Chain A
Amino acid sequence: MKPEKLGNPIVAGAIVTQLPWAWLFKVVVGCVIVYTVVGRFTNRFESAREVSSFGPANISTGQAKIKANIIHQAMRGFGNGFDIVRQNLAGINHNGWVRLYNAFGNRPSNIPLSDDKNLAEWLEMEFSTNQLNELRVLVPNVF
């Protein structure tokens, strides 16, 4: 019996060698690069802007950095450090919140392999509805 068309190993080998392997390789590498760049671009931290009409922030940028680190430390690992977070959020105004939010930036989540999260996302991830309600009493209408 005579092999025909693609069943013929000589014909199949000729088609494989004719495929533009170099071009395919470039396309795959290009796609990986675009995917990586777009992924980094879309997951990047977008800083919030202070609103001058709301009055000056009641914490400095230095204080915001310190508070951001304390809050992050409290929420990391086991437990959510509610008392510490509550103490550090108490009394900050809108522009103070903006400074704190920007100082916090995006930080690695407690959940492995998940995207980095900003402060509002961290709070919503760590605290129960009741605890969030308590925090919103202290700093209403910002998260």
Chain B
Amino acid sequence: MGRLKHLFWFGLVFFLVLEAMAIIAIRFWPDFRESLPALLGLVKSIPMAGKFLEDMGGEFFGYVAGQHFFKACTPMGTAAATLFAIGAVAGEAHRGTLEILLARPYSRARLLGERYAAGLLAVALPVLLSSATLPLMAPMVDETISLTTAMLCAVHEILFLATIYGLTFLLSTRSSSPIQIIMVVLFGAIFSFGLYMVKTASVLSPFRLADIPDFMEISRSGSLDWRVCGPLVLASALLYYAAYRSFLQRVP
């Protein structure tokens, strides 16, 4: 099974997990809505827990943004982006197949571009497809979500995940040890989530770039917030360029 088949199956699993989590979350909405006032009273002394509930604003879309994008796509997507990017170069080097790959009559730009695109698609498509099913599921609980809003939020989420994917991809071009990269990314993710949970340091956490208020703002404005998305696109482009420069010097 080559890398593409691996990516297909892992991407399918990623999609199914997101979809299952979305179904469970949406079906739980009526109970949640009913319990919301009591919950708010219960957690107002716990700053970050209260923040989640306040960010959701008691709206169905806020609830979905929290459950689907922030609590499902971001952590699961981070794991998927890391997993898919690691295999691109470091995984091949670890297996001993990188030398054969480089000996193909293809340019390194093409080899890298194909690998980058395939992995990113395996991250992006499940997020896009599972988000596209949100408007179909909302009527189950007598609610509605606009497809445009769901897609724009998915694009925002994908841009955030693409940055994590790009960073891991860069590490992959520089290493032959997938385990080392996993440890670095895992440590970075846990540290960033720790920052997010500390009220005074929360603003420093990368997870604030795909937070519930961002999705609520997209829902309100009907467009992407380019003050956040622009730097994410730029960061992804720079990371890819750095990975390309690194890959040009890569020896088997």
Real binding pair? no
B residues engaging A (CB < 8 A)? Answer: none
